[in-house]
Structure 1
Amino acid sequence: MSAFNSRSALLLYLACFLSASCGSRQGPPPSMPAVPVTVATAVQKSIPIQLRPIGNVESYSTIPVKAQVGGELVRIHFKEGQEVKKGDLLFEIDRRPYEQALHQTEANLNRDIAQQKQAEANLAHDQAQARNAEVQAARYAKLAGEGVVSKESDDQMRTNAQALQEAAHADEAALESARAALGADRASVERAKLDLAYCTIHSPLDGRTGSLQVKEGTLIKANADTPMVTINQIMPAYVTFSVPEDQLAEIRRSMSVRPLEVEAYIPSSSEIPVRGQLSFIDNTVDSATGVIKLKATFANRERRLWPGLFVNVVLTLGSDSNATVVPTEAVQTGQQGQYAFVVKGDQTVESRVLTVGRTVGRETVILLGIQPGETVVTDGQLRLIPGFKVKIETATPNPGAAKGSGASQ
C-alpha cells in the first residue's frame, strides 16, 4: 500500500511540474532569472550589390604544337611544365633528308637557268638570221622585178626568210617554257627551304608547356592527330561563369557606366582574392537553364589561377546606400518565417517578424522589422521567449564599423 501511495505522489508531482512548465510559455515567472545573451546593434551602411557564382579558370590561349613535316625527332629543348617564351626552340627533327631535297631543287634551278640562257641565245641568233633573210628577200624581189635574177631565186629567198622567222617564233616559245620551268624551280627551292625550316619547331606564344606526347627518337608524322605538346598561356587568364538571365539587364547597365570588378576566391586558400574585370557577355541565354555565360579577364601575374580550377566569383555591380544590416546569426527561422529577438529598454525581449534582403558576408540586409540603432540578440535565442529578461554578457563587435567584403547570396 505504501508503494502505491509513493507512485501516486510521484505522478501528481510530475503533473504539477508539467502544468507549470506549459503555463510558463505565456510569460516568465516573476522569479525567473535573466537569460544571458550576446547582442549587436543594427546599423545603417552602404552595402555592395554583388553576385556570387562559381567560375572556371580558362587559359587565355591554348596552342597544340604539331609538326608540319615528318621525320625522326632528334632533340627536345625543354622540360614538361616549363615556362617558355614566344620563339623559344622546342623540337628538332632530322634535317638531312630536307637538306638533300634542297640541294636537289637548287641543282634543278641552276640547270634551268642555263637552259634559259641557251634559249635566249638561240632566239637572238635566229632573230638576227630572220632579219637578214628578210633584207635578202626584199632585195631579190626588186632584182626579180627588174629581170636581173630569176623568179626561182626570188621564191627561194622568200621561203628562207619565212623559215627563219618561224624558227625565231619557236625559239620564243622555248624561252617561255624555260622561264616557266625556272619559276617552278624557284618555287621548289622555296618550298624545300620552308620544309627545312619546319625541322625546328619554335613556341608560338608565351606560356607553360604541358605533358610531352613524344620522346627523342620518335618518328614524327606531319600534322598528326595528337599534338607533340600543348602550351597554355595563363598570363592573362580567363574565368568563365554563368548568372541568371534576370541579372543581365543590371549587368549591362552597370557595365555601360564603368568597368565591372570581378574577384576570384580560390577554395581552401586564405590569400586575398585575385582581381580582374568583366570582359565578355555571351550573345545568347541558355534556354535550357536560363543562365547566360560571362567571362572576366585577370592579369594573373602571380600565376594563382590555373586552367581548369574552380573558383568562387564575386561580381560587384554597385552599392545599396543606407541599408539596415544586422549580423546574420541574429536572424532566426520560425513557423511565421524569419524573425529576430529585439532587446527593449527594460532589458526584456520581443520577437519581430522580418523581411530580409540579401546576405553580404556575415551580415544580412533587413528590409522591414528592425530600425537602425536597435539591439538584436545574436546568441542565446533558444532560451528566450517574448517577455523574458536578458543579461547582456558580451556584445558582438559591430560589423557595420568595418567595410563589408563578402559576396551577396
Structure 2
Amino acid sequence: MDAEARQAEGLETVKVKKGSVRPRIQAMASVTENIARSVSIRPAGDGKVRAVYVLPGQQVTVGQKLVSYIDHSLHVVDLQLAQAKASLASAQANLADTALAYRRGKSLAGATVSAGEVSRRLAVMHEAQNAVHFQDAAVKTLTHRLEEEFTSPTERIVDFENSVLIAPVDGMVEQVGTAVDNDISPTDVVIRITSLETVWVVANVRPEDASDISIGTEMTFMPVGADPAQAAMAKVQTIEGTADPETGLVKVVATFSDPRRRFRPGTQLNAWLPAQEQASGLIVPSAAPQNVDGHMVVYRQTGADTFQPVPVRVLLEGPEQSVVSGDLKPDDTIVAKGSFTLKAMALLSGLDGD
C-alpha cells in the first residue's frame, strides 16, 4: 500500500511500547446533591407564614431570605421581657427606698430609732436586694433566649413579632415545606438547603465491574457530549454492596469539590473508573488487533509500503490501550487506525498481508 493509498484510507502507525495497563471501566453517571451537607431549617417559634421567597432548585447565598413569618412565640417572649424589665425597675426603686431607710435608721440608732428597727430595715433591704437579683436574672434569661434561640445562622428577628428564616450556607433549595398563611412550629422542616460546594457523582456499573473497583480511586467524568478538556476527577467514597433490583447495576459514589458550581445536580455524565486488574506486556492501541480466521493479529510495518500480520494474544483489552504478547518487540511500528482496512484487503485478495 503506497503513501497515497495510506493517506486515503487514513492509516496511522504507532510504536509498540512495553509496560503495564490498568483498564478503565466506562459507566453512565449523574450529579446529585451531597445530602451529607444538607441543612434542615426549622423555625424557632410557633407562628404563621407571611411570605415564601424561594423555590425548589433555586440557588441561594448565605443570609438570603427564605421565609418570613409572624412569630407568636417571639411576641410572647418579647412581652415577658418587657414585663421583666418593668419588674426589675420596680425592684431597683424599692431597693433604693429600703437602702435609704436603713441608712437613716442606722444613723439614728440608739436615739429616735431602736436597734430592733434598724435590724428590721436591714432585713427589708436584703429582701429588696434579692428581688433585684431575681428580676435581673429573669431579664438576662429572656434576653439570652432572644439572642440565642430566636437569632441563629438560620433565623433573625425583624421586630417584636416578625422573624425571617435565612440561608446558613451557599447552596440549592432542595425542598420547600410550607406556603403562605400556613401554621408552622419548631418541629416543622420548612426549608431544606444542600450546599453545592461538594457534590456526589453517582456512577452505575455492572456487578462484575464493581468487584474490580476499589474505594479511594479517582473517577474521571465529564458531561455527555462535552469536550474531553472539561473532564474532572472525583474520589470514590462508597460502593454499594447490592445491585439495584430495577436496573441490575451497582451504584458507585464519588465526592467532587465544586466551589465554582461547574456541575449542577441532575447533569448526566460519562464516567471512567480504573480497575484493580493490571496486565504487563506489549502495549498497543486497542484498535490495532484484528480477528482474522479466529486469530488475533496486528499489522507490523516491514517496509515503506508493506505490512505483515503478526499473531498476538490479547492479555488485557481496554477502551484505548491493550496489552498483548507475541512476536513483537518494543519500538516495532504497527498500524493503529486503519488496521481493519488492511484486514479487509487481505481477505479480499486471499493474501495474509501486504
TM-score, normalisation: structure 2? 0.66
Letter in 2 for 1:191: R
Residue 226 of structure 2 aligns with which residue? 270
Is 1:201 paired with 2:177? no
Letter in 1 for 2:142: S
Residue 195 of structure 2 aligns with which residue? 233
Deviation at 1:175, TM superposition (A): 1.3
SS in 2 for 1:237: strand
Deviation at 1:201, TM superposition (A): 0.5
Residue 41 of structure 2 aligns with which residue? 65
The answer for unaligned runs of 5 or more in structure 2 is 1-8, 158-162, 244-249
Distance in 2 separating the partners of 1:277 and 1:171: 74
SS in 1 for 2:196: strand
Q: 2:322 aligns with which of 364, 375, 378?
A: 364
Deviation at 1:191, TM superposition (A): 2.7
Residue 389 of structure 1 aligns with which residue? 351
Distance in 2 separating the partners of 1:189 and 1:367: 80
Provide the aligned C-alpha RMSD in A: 4.7
* Superposed CA offset, 1:112-149 (max 9, x none): 2222231243134225424642x559xxxxxxxxxxxx
Deviation at 1:188, TM superposition (A): 1.9
Residue 246 of structure 2 aligns with which residue? none
Distance in 1 separating the partners of 2:292 and 2:90: 98
Residue 283 of structure 2 aligns with which residue? 324
C-alpha change, 1:360 and 1:218, in structure 2 (3 Å) is: same
C-alpha change, 1:221 and 1:278, in structure 2 (3 Å) is: same
Distance in 1 separating the partners of 2:78 and 2:285: 80
TM-score, normalisation: structure 1? 0.59
Contact residue 352 and residue 369 of structure 1 kept, 8 A: yes
Letter in 2 for 1:264: F
Residue 7 of structure 1 aligns with which residue? none
Residue 176 of structure 2 aligns with which residue? 212
Deviation at 1:340, TM superposition (A): 1.5
Contact residue 73 and residue 93 of structure 1 kept, 8 A: yes
SS in 2 for 1:339: strand
Is 1:78 paired with 2:54? yes
**Deviates further, 364-373 or 292-301:** 292-301
C-alpha change, 1:186 and 1:352, in structure 2 (3 Å) is: same
Letter in 1 for 2:225: S
Higher-Rg member (1/2): 1
Of Structure 1 and Structure 2, the greater helix share is in: 1
C-alpha change, 1:279 and 1:265, in structure 2 (3 Å) is: closer
Distance in 1 separating the partners of 2:212 and 2:275: 16
Q: 1:354 aligns with which of 313, 318, 324?
A: 313
Distance in 2 separating the partners of 1:310 and 1:280: 15
SS in 2 for 1:171: helix
Identity of aligned residues (%): 10
Is 1:89 paired with 2:65? yes
The answer for unaligned runs of 5 or more in structure 1 is 1-36, 138-156, 252-259, 393-409
Letter in 2 for 1:204: P
Deviation at 1:179, TM superposition (A): 1.5
